Amino acid sequence: DGGITQSPKYLFRKEGQNVTLSCEQNLNHDAMYWYRQDPGQGLRLIYYSQIVNDFQKGDIAEGYSVSREKKESFPLTVTSAQKNPTAFYLCASTQLANTGELFFGEGSRLTVL
């Protein structure tokens, strides 16, 4: 079955540590996105990538980094520079860039201890 796989589902981190969240898709989609969701709030765009080896900052990119070395993969690193990293992180993809028909992974819940 085609879909988006995010791992890990739950992650605990000590302050000052970098963590990397994995996102893999087998939908052959060109564009991939990372969103952050805080309790009671909507989704805020962190980074997006429309093609391999290219990505753009979203609204809240500070403290995060990404890479897009393969079409199928778009990992997100939450660095120690991110002041409030505890959140629900969602990866999504879409066949064509700039369309809103997103397919989401199941999400990764990061908690900083």
**Does 87 interact with another protein (rule: CB under 8 A)?**
no
Question: Taking contact as CB under 8 A, which single stretch among the options 22-30, 37-45, 60-68, 77-85 is the one that binds another protein?
Answer: 37-45
Longest dimension (CA), the chain: 38
Q: Facing residues of 111 across strands?
A: 12
Alpha-carbon distances, residue 103 vs 14, 23, 24, 40 (angstroms): 31, 12, 12, 21
**Does 45 interact with another protein (rule: CB under 8 A)?**
yes
Out of 32, 66, 90, 112, the residue judged to bind another protein by CB under 8 A: 90
CB 92 within 8 A of CB 32: yes
**Does 39 interact with another protein (rule: CB under 8 A)?**
no
**Does 98 interact with another protein (rule: CB under 8 A)?**
yes
In the complex with another protein, which residue's Cβ is closer, 50 or 77? 50
Pairing relation of β-strands 103-104 and 4-7?
Answer: unpaired
Q: Tokens for 48?
A: 């997006």
Site residues (CB under 8 A) for another protein? 33, 35, 40-45, 48, 58-59, 90, 98-107
